[in-house]
Amino acid sequence: MSEENIVKINEVITHYFNTNPSVDWIPVKEIMPALIEAGIFKKDNKKGLPMRKVLRKLDLESELAKIPSVHAERRSDTIYWYLVRAGKKYEPKELISPVTKKEQNLLAIQNSDEYYLVNLCDELLQQKASRKHTFDTLVGNLHKRGKGRTKLPLDAYYEDLKLVLEFFRKNKATDELDEKEKARRAQIKYYKELKKKAVLTKKLRLIEINYALFENDANKLIRNAENDRLVLKDVLKDFVQNQKLQ
């Protein structure tokens, strides 16, 4: 990017804030139409990528100061670029999480109702389940390109007990489902049957546990651990009793 174009970029940014007095900061992608109109870029792609490339290069060369309005919100896995009015400060509308997307996904799994119930099952059965266990012979349909199949995970598998647990929440019946949702539900039902057949073929015991057995609030478990243990103890009574005899 030439020095002349850097000057033009600053002029466009200044003009933007002058004509939008109520705006103190914007994501870089929002300035792209004005930059294209000014002839600095020919077109936009990926929501501001041309400008982000310029900023990344300046950042690597420690020359971000050439565009004084730029604010770099640095995360552990990426940088989010903003433009801030002179004399103002960038203030995010939401607090930025310090954890990565991978860590966020892991936290979501660990906070899920399924994870919570499997923990209780581990306690009652005195064994640790293999979570999201897969078998080579239990696979879904061919991918769209006709190559490869995804292994279908089982919620919890206790190898020594030859026991598989599957948790489910019954869908509310409705006549107003769109075609996409109907197809999704049909696929879930189909895969559910595949799992049953695979478990039966391997001579394993399958127990399906409905979340409705537990105290719920808006489709989320209330998590009364004492009561939840009693429910699971009854559901798993054949295996809990066997554990006591050992």
Q: pLDDT tens across 116-169, in order? A: 999 999 999 999 999 999 999 898 877 776 677 889 999 999 999 999 999 998
| The pLDDT value given to residue 173 | 67
pLDDT at residue 184, as a whole number: 84
Strands 25-27 and 130-133: unpaired
The pLDDT value given to residue 99: 59
Give 193-196 contacts, CB < 8 A, sequence gap 24+: 194/138, 194/140, 194/152, 195/138, 195/152, 195/154, 195/164, 195/166
Q: How far apart are CA 166 and CA 114, in angstroms?
A: 9
Total tally of structural domains belonging to the chain? 2
Residue 246 has a pLDDT of 52
The rounded distance, in Å, linking the Cα atoms of 172 and 41 is 51
Are residues 223 and 118 part of one domain? yes
- Token pair belonging to 237: 């009574």
pTM reported for the whole predicted model: 0.57
Angle at 162 between CA 156 and CA 166, to 5 degrees: 30
Residue 74: CB atoms within 10 Å: 10
Same domain, 218 and 175: yes
Question: In this predicted structure, what is the pLDDT of residue 143?
Answer: 74
**71 and 133 fall within a common domain:** no
| Domain extent for 224 | 112-245
Q: Give pLDDT < 70 ranges for the chain.
A: 76, 93-101, 103, 106-107, 145-146, 172-176, 242-246
Q: How far is CA 45 from CA 2, 26, 31, 51, 102, in A?
A: 21, 18, 13, 10, 26
Q: Are 153 and 132 in contact (CB under 8 A)?
A: yes
CATH of the domain at 174: 3.40.960.10
Is residue 99 one of the residues assigned to a domain? no
The H or E element that residue 70 is part of is strand 70-74
Structural domain includes residue 21: yes
pLDDT at res. 167: 96
**What is the structure's pLDDT at 105?**
74
